[in-house]
Structure 1
Amino acid sequence: MKQLLLFNLFLFLGATLFAQDKMLVHRPDGTATFQISESDSVYFSADHSIIYFKIAGNLTDYYVSEIDSITFDVSLDSTVYVTYDGSTVSVINPLSDAGVAVETDGADVVIHSTSAIKNINYVLSGTTGDGMFKIYSDERYNLLLNGVQITNNDGPAINIQSGKHARINLVAGTASTLADGPDYAAPAVDENGEEEGQSATFFSEGELIFTGSGSLTINSFGSDQHGLRSDDYIQVDEGSITITSAEKDGMHGKEGVYINGGTVLITSSGDGIDGDEGVADITGGSVTVHSVEDDVKAVKSDGPITISGGTVQITVAGKQSKGIDSDVEINLSGGDVNISTTGGVVLEASGQGYDPSYCSAINCNGDVNISGGYLNIMSTGTAGRGISCDGNLYVDGGEITITASGNGAKYTNENGVDDAYHGSCINVDGDFVFNSGAITASNSGSGGKGISTDGGFVIGDGSSTPVLGLTTTGARITITSGGPGPGSQGDYDESKTIKSDGPVTINSGLVTISSADDGIKSDEAITMNGGSVSINQSVEGVEAPNITMNGGEISIYASDDGFNATYGNGGEQNDGSLLAINGGYVHISASGGDAMDSNGNISISGGTIVVHGPQSSPEVGMDVNGSCLISGGFLVISGTNSNMTEGASNSSTQYSLLLRTNSAIPANTLFHLEDSNGNELVTFAPRRNYYSIIFSSSQLANGATYKLYTGGTHSGQQLNGLYTGGSYSGGTLKKTFTISNIVTNVSF
C-alpha cells in the first residue's frame, strides 16, 4: 500500500513539479530537503523496497518502510525571469496570480507589482539593442543583472519607478551593460499628472544597493542626463561599476552616495559622484573618477564628504574644476586618496575687474578635517590649489603630500587695482590647526605659496610631533615695478612657504622650510613655544610685527633678514614692533641682510642665540630702531663695521659687549673670550668675514677683566660655529679689558 501511495504521489509531482520549490522526505531520524528544480528522476528498486532520488546528479536512496511521508513546500517561486533576445523578450512570471503583472512591447518590459511579497527576484539576462526594463513595486525587491545587455535609444535602459528599497545584484561571473540614446522620448505621466523621472541611463526613484561580484558598465549618451541616478541614495557594497560617459553626473544620489566596497570607475562631463543633498561617504573599495570638463567636481556633495577607507583616484582636467568639493564639511580619516589636477584658473568678471576662480584638488565651503589616511595631490594647472577651504582646516593625523607647479599672473581685481593670482598648496580662509601627522608640500609656480591662511596657524599641541616640510621655488610676480631712484619699491607677489594674516604659533613638531622668499610671515605675530624649525633657505626667514621665542629650536638661513620684526612701513622710526627671545635655541645665518632686525624693540631674557651676520655694510648682525633690552640668555652675533652696528641698550640688566675692529677678520677664524683665570666664556667661528661681535652672557660681571683672542684652534664640539667642551689654544691675544658699564664697547 505504501508503494502505491508513493507512486501516486510522484504522479502528482510530475504534474506540479514547477509549481513547488522543495520536496521534504520525512523519516524517524529526521527530514531530508531537496530542491525540486534540481531533481533528475525518482524510481524504485525491482522489489519496490527501496526508493531512489537522483538530485543534481547525485543518487540518494531510502528504504520505503523507513519513510513516514513526503511533503512539498507550497511557497510560491518568488523569481521573475526576463530574458531579452534582440527585438523580443520572454518573461517567466510565477507570480501573476500574486500581484505581479508584466507588460511587454517588443523588447520593452514594464513590471507592475502590487504583491505583498517582499524581496521578489527579477532576473535580467540576454541582449537587446532597442529595449528597456521598467518597474513599479509596492514592496522592496531584488534586481539581478545576469549578464544582461540593454540599449534603449529613447530613454533609460533601466527605469525604476518605485520608491522602495532595491538591491541590485551583479551576478557573479557576469558582465552587464546598459546604454541609452541622445534623445529621450517624453516621460510618462503618473496618476497625479506629474511627469515621471527618467534622468539617467539607470534611473531609480528609490534607494539602490549594489551587491554581487559581477560587473556593470553604463554607457550614457543621453543629452543632459546622468549615468546612474537615484532620487534616494546609492550604496555600493560589492561588484564593479564602470560609467564610461555621461553628459551630466556619472553617479548621482539625491540623498547621498555610500561606497563601502567594490570598484567604481567614472568618466563624465558633469560631476563624477554627486551626493546632492545628502553625503558622499567612502569607507572601502576602489573609486576612480576622471573629470574632463570645466567647472565640474569629481566627488561632490552639498552635505559632508567622508573618506575613511578604500582607494580613491581622481583626475581633474577642467578649468576652475574641483577634485573633492563639499558645501559643508570634508572628513578624511583613512584610505588612500590620490588627486591630480591640470585645470587652470578662470577670471570671472566682478566689479571693476575680475575675481579668480581656481582649480582645486580639495575645496570646501566649511571645515576640512584630516585625521588619518594618505592624501597625495599633484597640481600642474595655472595657479592650481591643493587644499582650499573657506572654514578651518584641522589636521590630526595622516600623511599629506602636495606638489604644485602652476604659475600665477598679474590681473585687475574687482576694485580695478592691479593684483596677482597664484597657486597654494594649502589655502585656508579660517584657522589652520596642525596637531599631528605629516605634511610635505612644494610649489614651483610663480608667486606660489606653500601654506596661506587668513586666520591663524597653530603647529602642535605641545605633546605631539607633527612633521611639516615646505618648499617654494617659484619666481615673484611683478604687479608694479619700482622706480630707478634709491628707496623706490615695487609691488610683488612672492613665493612664500608660510603666509598667515593671523598669528602663527608653534608649540611642538618638526618644521623644515626651503623658501624662494619668506620662510614664515604673519601680519600679526609669530610665537614659538617648542618644537624644531629649520629654515634652510629664504630671503627673510621669519617676519611679523611681533616675534616671540619662548622655547624650542630654530635655525634660519636667509639672504636678507633672519628675524624681521616689522609692521612693514619702512623707515628708521620705532614702529612698535617687538622681537622677544625668552628661551629656546636660535641659530641665524644672514648673508645679505640684518640677521636680527626690529623696526621696534628687541627683548632678550633667555635662551641661546647664535648669529652669523652679513660681511658687508650697511647691513649688520643686529639692527633695532628702538631699544634692545637684555636681561638674560646667551648671545653671540658676528657682523660688519657699518655705522649702524649697535649693541644692547644701557637700560639692560645683563652685561653685554660690543667688540669692533677696523680690519676684517676672515671667515671661520675663531673669536675667543676668557676671563682672567683662563675660563672660557665663548669660542665662536663666524661663517663670513667679520668686523664686530655682540656678546652677552650671565657670566659677564662688572669689574671683571677679560681677554680677547682671534685665531687658534679648539678641541671641543662645534654646533653652528659655537664650540663647547674641549679647550682653546694657539690664538692671538688682541685685547685685555675690564667691564665697567652694563654695555661695554671694546675696540681691538
Structure 2
Amino acid sequence: MRRTPLFLIASTATLGLVLTGCAATDESATDDVSTGSTASGDEVSSDSDDSASYDGDATVEEIMADNEDVGDTDAAADAEVVDITLDGGTASSDAEGVEVDGSTVTITQEGAYRISGTLDDGQIVVAAPEDAQVRLILDDADITSSTGSAISVEEADDVVIELADGSDNHVADAESYADTGEDAPNAAIYSTADLGITGTGALTVEGNANDGITSKDGLVIDSGDITVTAVDDGVRGKDQLVVLDGTLTVTAGGDGLKADNEDDADRGYVYLAGGTVDVTAGADGIDAAQDALVDGATVTVVAGGGHEETVADDASAKGVKAGIALVIGSGTVTVDAADDALHSDGLVAVPGGDVTVASGDDGVHADGNLNLEGGNVTVTASYEGLEGSDILIADGDIDLTSTDDAINAALTADDAVEQQARADGSGGGYGTEEVGDFSFIVTGGTILVDAEGDGLDSNGSIDIQGGEIVVAGPTTDGEAPMDANGTFTISGGDLLAYGSSGMASAPDLDSEQVSVFFLLDAAQASGSTAELVASDGTVLATFDATRDFQSVVWSGDDLTEGDEVTLVVDGTEVATATAGDYEEGEATGGAGGPGEMPGGGAPGGEMPQV
C-alpha cells in the first residue's frame, strides 16, 4: 500500500485533519464542510458556466424505477413435485409431463420436477406451453452432453432452477454443437424464456463451446453457490442479469457477466443487489448494454489479466462497462483491469460503497458526467485516475494514483480523434489554449492525488467550493499539479498542491477564497517535511512530501489577502510569499500539454521566482 501525503491543517476554525496511510480520515473533520450536492439529487451550484450537471437520476433506485422489473424465482413454487431419475445413459419418470427418448428428457407440461442422478451424455429439454411455469429441482444431478446444451429451455413462460438443500450439481455441454444456427442454443444452460436460479445447494457449470449460462430473456440469481467456467461469456441475460444473493464465481474467456439488449431502453442491464460475485474474464468483466448497477453486493473483477497487461486495439478488457449509466450505491467493488476499471459511455455515479481499482488505462471513465458523492474510491494504479467530460466530487474519500493525469475533465477518446481531424483540416477543434465545455467541481469530500502527469486537469473550468484536497503532482515541467484551460476558482475548502514549477498555476485572483503560491529557485527533496507558517507563527499546513517539488499552492478559509506566509522545509525557511499576490498569466499550456511559458493552463498561473 502506497503512503499518501501527511497533511495537517491547523485553522482558526479548529479544523484538524490528518491524512496518512491509504485515504484515512477523521470523519469529524468534515462535519462542518457544506456540500452543493447529495446522492439524493440536490442541484450543484457553481460560479462557472461549465458546471457539471446533475439531474437527480444517478441513484440505483431511480435508475431501476425506469427499468423493466426484476424477475422472481417463484415459478411453480407451490406445485406438487414429481421425480426424474437419471441413470447413466437414460432416465425414468412416472410424471405425465415427462418424455424420455434414450438420453433426452423432455418436459412438456408446467410443474415442479426433481432431477437426480447422472446423465452421461444427454439433455434435459423444456418444451412446455408458452405460458407454462416450470421448476427444475436439481438434487445431486450430473448432466453432460456431447452434442449441445445440457439443459435447454425451448419454450415456457418462466423457468426456475432450484438447487436442493445440501446438493452438489454439475452441468457440462459439448465442445462443439451439432446445431450451430443463429437461434440455436449456445450455452451449457440455455433458455429462451425468463430464467431464475435459487436454492441453497451448489452448481458447477462448464461452458465448453461458448457460454456457461444464457437466457434470451431475463436471468435472476436469487441464491446458491454457483461456479461457472466458459470458453466465451460466463453468465448472460439478454434483457437483464440480476444477482440478489448467493455466491457466483465466473471464469470466462470472453465477458464474465453480460446483458446485451441494446434496443430497449429499460432492458440490457446488470444489477448486483447482493451476494458475492467473483469474475475473471479474458474480455470485459461485467458488460451491460444499458446500465451496470451495484447496490449491496461484494464484487471482485479481474479483466484481461489485470492492469499490467496490454489490450489489443480491437479488444476490450474493462472491469465494469455500461452503455448508459454505471452506478455504485453500496457494497464493495474491487477491480483489476487491463483496460478501464469502471467505464460508461454516459454517466458514472458513486453515491455510496467502497471501490478499489487498478487499471491499465483509466481508473474511472465516463464519456458524460462522473459524480462521486459519498462512496470511497481508491485507484491504486492507472494511466489516468478519473476522466469525464464533467466531474463532480461532493463527498467520500478519494485516493488516486496515476502515471498521467489523476483527474481529467476533457474530451473522450473518440471526440479527441474527431477534433484533431478538424484541427488538421481547418484549424478548428480544441487546441492547447481553447476553453472547452468541461468542468471539474469539488463541493466536499477528501481527495488525495499522486500524479506523474497533471494532478487536477480540466480542458474547461475548475471550481473548488469545499472539501480537503492534497495534490502530490508531477516532477517534470511539462506537466502541472493543477491545470485549467478556463476559469480556476476556489470559494471554500482546503487545497494543497505541490510539484514541478514550469507549468504550475494557482486559482484565479478574483476567487472568493485567497491562495498563496510559491515558485522556488531550487527543487525540494521528496521525503522532506514542509510547513506553511503565517507571520504570527501559526502553522497553516504541514505535509510530508512524497515527491520532489518546486512549487506549492495553499488555500484555506483562514488565509487572508496580504498575509505573509513562509515555507519552511525540514526546519529551514525556504521562501516567503504574500497571499493573493501573484501575477496572472495567459493560458498557454492547456490541459495535459506543455506550454511556452510558466503558468500555462490557468489564468491565475505565473509568479516571479522566490
Please say whether Structure 1 and Structure 2 have the same fold, judged by a TM-score greater than 0.5: yes
In the alignment, what sits opposite 1:531?
396
Superimposed CA distance per residue, residues 488-535 of structure 1 (whole angstroms, 9 cap, x where no aligned partner): xxxxxxx3232222212112122221234122222x222111111222
Structure 1 687/339 Cα, relative in aligned 2: closer, same or farther at 3 Å? Answer: closer
Change (3 A) 1:246 1:568: farther
Deviation string 1:140-169 (CA, Å, 9 cap, x unpaired) is: 999766896776xxxxx6699x9x556x9x
CA contact (8 A) 2:397 2:447 kept: no
Residue of structure 2 equivalent to 1:626: 486
Q: Is 1:179–1:220's contact at 8 Å kept on the other side of the alignment?
A: no
Q: Is 2:354 the counterpart of 1:452? A: no
Deviations, residues 308-351 of structure 1 (Å, cap 9, x unaligned) = 1122121112xxx3322222222211121111113xxxxxxxxx
Residue type of the partner of 1:240?
Answer: D
Note if contact 1:280-1:301 (Cα within 8 Å) is conserved in structure 2. no
Aligned pair in 2 of structure 1 residues 668, 338: CA closer, same or farther (>3 Å)?
Answer: closer
Contact 2:402 2:450 in 1 (8 A): no
The question of 1:220 aligning with 2:131 is answered no
Deviations along 1:648-691, one digit per CA (max 9) or x if unpaired, are: 43433433333333233444445444444333334445444433
| Structure 1 partner of 2:295 | 396
Tell me if 1:436 matches 2:330. Answer: yes
Q: Assess if the C-alpha contact under 8 Å between 1:282 and 1:310 holds in 2.
A: yes
Determine if contact 1:266/1:289 at 8 Å carries over to the other structure: yes
Is the CA contact 1:408–1:423 (under 8 Å) kept in the aligned structure 2? Answer: no
Aligned partner of 2:226 in structure 1 is: 312
Which residue pairs with 1:660 in the alignment?
519
Give 1:396 deviation, angstroms. Answer: 1.5
Deviation at 1:607, TM superposition (A): 3.4
Residue identity matched to 1:231: A
Work out the CA distance in 1 between the residues paired with 2:554 and 2:82: 83
Secondary structure of the structure 1 residue equivalent to 2:220: strand
- The yes-or-no answer on 1:259 pairing with 2:161 is yes
Relative to 1, partners in 2 of residues 1:240 and 1:456: Cα closer, same or farther, differing over 3 Å? same
Distance 2:222 2:508 in 1: 58
Task: Name which of 450, 468, 475 aligns with 1:608.
Answer: 468
* C-alpha displacement of 1:610: 3.0
User: Which of 449, 468, 480 is residue 355 of structure 2 equivalent to?
Assistant: 468
Task: Select the structure that is richer in strand.
Answer: 1
The answer (yes or no) to whether the contact 1:341–1:378 under 8 Å persists in 2 is: yes
Distance 1:421 1:288, change over 3 A: same
1:333 counterpart (237, 244, 256): 244
Return the letter of the residue paired with 1:220. Answer: D
Inter-CA distance 664–332: structure 2 relative to 1 (3 Å threshold) = closer
Question: Does structure 1 retain, via aligned residues, the 8 Å contact 2:149–2:172?
Answer: no
| Residue among 365, 377, 386 paired with 1:520 | 386
Q: How does 1:9-24 map to 2 (within 5 A)?
A: none
**Aligned AA (1:336):** T
Look up the equivalent residue of 2:344 and give its one-letter code.
T
**AA paired with 2:227?**
Q
Match of 1:302 in 2: 216
Q: CA deviation at 1:377?
A: 1.5
Could you tell me which of 219, 240, 258 is aligned with 1:362?
258
Partner letter of residue 339 of structure 1?
A: V
Counterpart of 1:231?
A: 128
- Mapped partners of 1:405, 1:571: distance in 2: 34
Q: CA deviation at 1:370?
A: 1.6
Is 2:566 aligned against 1:679?
no
Equivalent residues of 1:450, 1:472 under 8 A apart:
yes
Distance 1:332 1:424 in 2: 20
Amino acid aligned to 2:118: T
Q: CA deviation at 1:435?
A: 0.9
SS in 2 for 1:241: strand
Q: Distance in 2 between matches of 1:737 and 1:325?
A: 61
Task: Report the RMSD for the aligned CA atoms in angstroms.
Answer: 3.7
Tell me the secondary structure at the aligned position of residue 475 of structure 2: coil
C-alpha offsets along residues 563-614 of structure 1, whole Å, 9 cap, x if unaligned?
A: xxxx9944123334333344443333334x3333333333334333333333
* 2-structure distance, mates of 1:211, 1:325: 25
User: Given the superposition, is the C-alpha separation of residues 436 and 665 from structure 1 closer, same or farther in structure 2, using an over 3 Å criterion?
Assistant: closer
1:373 and 2:287 matched? no
Residues 99-123 of structure 1: CA distance to partner in whole angstroms, max 9, x if unpaired?
A: xxxxxxxxxxxxxxxxxxxxxxxxx
Bigger relative CO (Cα 8 Å, ≥ 6 apart): 2
2:205 aligned residue (279, 289, 292): 289
**What is the 5 A alignment of 1:505-654?**
505-522=371-388, 524-545=389-410, 569-591=430-452, 593-642=453-502, 644-654=503-513
1:203 and 1:574, CA in 2 relative to 1: closer, same or farther beyond 3 A? closer
In structure 2, distance between residues paired with 1:375 and 1:308: 12
**Residue pair 2:273, 2:296 contacting (<8 A) in 1 also:** yes
Q: Note closer, same or farther for the CA distance 1:456–1:620 as it changes in structure 2 (3 Å cut).
A: closer
Alignment of 1:122-141 (within 5 A): none
Contact 1:271 1:298 in 2 (8 A): yes
Relative to 1, partners in 2 of residues 1:250 and 1:457: Cα closer, same or farther, differing over 3 Å?
Answer: same
Q: Which residue of 2 aligns with 1:690?
A: 549
CA change 1:248–1:571 in 2 (3 A) is same
Within 2, Cα distance between the matches of 1:648 and 1:268? 62
Relative to structure 1, the CA distance from residue 377 to residue 618 in structure 2 (aligned partners, 3 Å threshold; closer, same or farther) is closer
> What is the alpha-carbon distance in structure 1 between the residues aligned to residue 454 and residue 331 of structure 2?
35
- How many Å apart are 1:741 and its aligned residue? 8.4
2: distance between equivalents of 1:286 and 1:670? 56
Change (3 A) 1:657 1:531: closer
Query: Given the superposition, is the C-alpha separation of residues 680 and 279 from structure 1 closer, same or farther in structure 2, using an over 3 Å criterion?
Result: closer
- For each residue in 1:424-448, what CA deviation from the matched residue of structure 2 results, as whole angstroms up to 9, or x when unmatched? 22222221221111121212x4xx2
Which residue is equivalent to 1:111?
none
Residue identity (%): 21
Query: How many Å separate the matches in 1 of 2:242 and 2:580?
Result: 62
Larger CA Rg, structure 1 vs 2? 1
Q: CA deviation at 1:292?
A: 0.9
- Asked whether the equivalents of residues 409 and 457 of structure 2 are also in contact (C-alpha less than 8 Å), the reply is no
Q: Of 503, 511, 519, which aligns to 2:369?
A: 503
Unaligned runs of 5+ in 1: 1-139, 152-156, 169-177, 181-199, 343-357, 411-418, 474-494, 547-566, 714-730
Cα offset for 1:542? 1.7
CA gap 1:694/1:402 in 2 versus in 1, 3 angstroms = closer
Deviation at residue 265 of structure 1 after TM alignment: 1.9
Contact 2:461–2:488 (Cα < 8 Å) also in 1: yes
On the 8 A contact 1:600/1:624 being kept in 2, the answer is yes
Q: Which residue of 2 aligns with 1:118?
A: none
Deviation at 1:400, TM superposition (A): 1.5
Assess if the C-alpha contact under 8 Å between 2:85 and 2:93 holds in 1. no
**2:233 paired residue among 280, 303, 322:** 322
Distance 1:220 1:159, change over 3 A: farther
Equivalent pair of 1:641/1:662 in contact (CA under 8 Å): no
Q: State the partner residue of 1:708.
A: 566
Deviation of the 1:746 alpha carbon: 6.7
In 2, the alpha carbon distance for the partners of 1:179 and 1:694 equals 79
Q: Distance in 2 between matches of 1:146 and 1:537?
A: 58
Q: In structure 1, what is the Cα distance between the partners aligned to 2:363 and 2:559?
A: 40
Paired amino acid for 1:265: H
SS at match of 2:225: strand
- 2: CA distance between counterparts of 1:148 and 1:699? 81
